[in-house]
Structure 1
Amino acid sequence: MKAGPPQNNYPAGNVVATSLTPVIAGVKLLHADESLLVLDKPAGLLSVPGRGEDKQDCLSARVQAVFPDALIVHRLDQATSGLTLMARGAAMQRALSRSFETREVSKRYVAVVSGHLPPSDDENGWGLIDLPIIVDWPNRPLRIINTERGKPSQTRWRVHSHDAAANTTRVELEPITGRSHQLRVHLKALGHPILGDAMYAPEAVQAAAPRLLLHAAVLRFTHPASGVTMSFESKSGF
Structure 2
Amino acid sequence: MHRPPTTDLTLVHEDPYLLVLDKPAGLLCVPGRGEDKQDCLSARAVARWPEALVVHRLDMATSGLVLMARSGDMQRALGDAFAQQAVWKRYEAVVDGLLDAGPHWSEIDAPLMADWPRRPMQKIDAAGKPSVTRWRVLEALPSLQASRLLLAPRTGRTHQLRVHLASIGHAILGDALYGGEEVQQRTPRLMLHASVLQLRHPATGEALRFESVPPFRCP
The TM-score range, normalised by the shorter chain, is: over 0.9
- 1:13 aligned partner: none
Task: Decide whether the 8 Å contact of 2:101 with 2:139 is kept in 1.
Answer: no
Paired residue secondary structure (2:16):
coil
Answering whether residue 53 of structure 2 is matched by residue 71 of structure 1, we say: yes
- 2:206 aligned partner: 228
Cα pair distance change 1:25/1:205, threshold 3 Å: closer
From 73, 77, 95, give the equivalent of 1:91. 73
The separation in 1 between residues aligned to 2:48 and 2:117, in whole angstroms, is 39
Q: CA deviation at 1:63?
A: 0.2
Answering whether residue 124 of structure 2 is matched by residue 145 of structure 1, we say: yes
Q: Which runs of 4+ in 1 moved over 2 A?
A: 117-120
- For the pair shown, which has the larger CA radius of gyration, 1 or 2? 1
Cα pair distance change 1:32/1:110, threshold 3 Å: same
From 179, 186, 201, give the equivalent of 2:179. 201
- 2:3 aligned partner: none
Task: Decide whether the 8 Å contact of 1:25 with 1:62 is kept in 2.
Answer: no
The separation in 1 between residues aligned to 2:163 and 2:101, in whole angstroms, is 19
- Report sequence identity in percent: 57
What amino acid maps onto 1:157 in structure 2? W
- 1:188 aligned partner: 166
Q: Please give the per-residue CA displacement for 1:31-71, whole angstroms capped at 9, x wherever unaligned.
A: 11110001100000000001111111100000000101100
The separation in 1 between residues aligned to 2:100 and 2:118, in whole angstroms, is 31
Q: Which has the higher helix share?
A: 2
From 12, 20, 26, give the equivalent of 1:44. 26
The runs of 5 or more residues in structure 2 that have no matched partner are 1-5
Task: Decide whether the 8 Å contact of 2:100 with 2:139 is kept in 1.
Answer: no
Paired residue secondary structure (1:165):
helix
What amino acid maps onto 2:203 in structure 1? A
Answering whether residue 114 of structure 2 is matched by residue 135 of structure 1, we say: yes
The runs of 5 or more residues in structure 1 that have no matched partner are 1-23
From 3, 6, 11, give the equivalent of 1:29. 11
Q: CA deviation at 1:118?
A: 4.4
From 80, 100, 108, give the equivalent of 2:82. 100
Q: CA deviation at 1:163?
A: 1.3
Q: CA deviation at 1:29?
A: 0.4
Paired residue secondary structure (1:95):
helix
Paired residue secondary structure (2:50):
coil
Q: CA deviation at 1:208?
A: 0.5
Task: Decide whether the 8 Å contact of 1:26 with 1:42 is kept in 2.
Answer: no
Paired residue secondary structure (1:57):
coil
From 197, 214, 219, give the equivalent of 2:197. 219
The separation in 2 between residues aligned to 1:109 and 1:82, in whole angstroms, is 8
Q: TM-score, normalised by structure 1?
A: 0.86
Q: How many residues align?
A: 211
What amino acid maps onto 1:111 in structure 2? A
The separation in 2 between residues aligned to 1:164 and 1:55, in whole angstroms, is 37
From 46, 54, 57, give the equivalent of 2:36. 54
The separation in 1 between residues aligned to 2:151 and 2:9, in whole angstroms, is 23
Q: CA deviation at 1:177?
A: 0.3
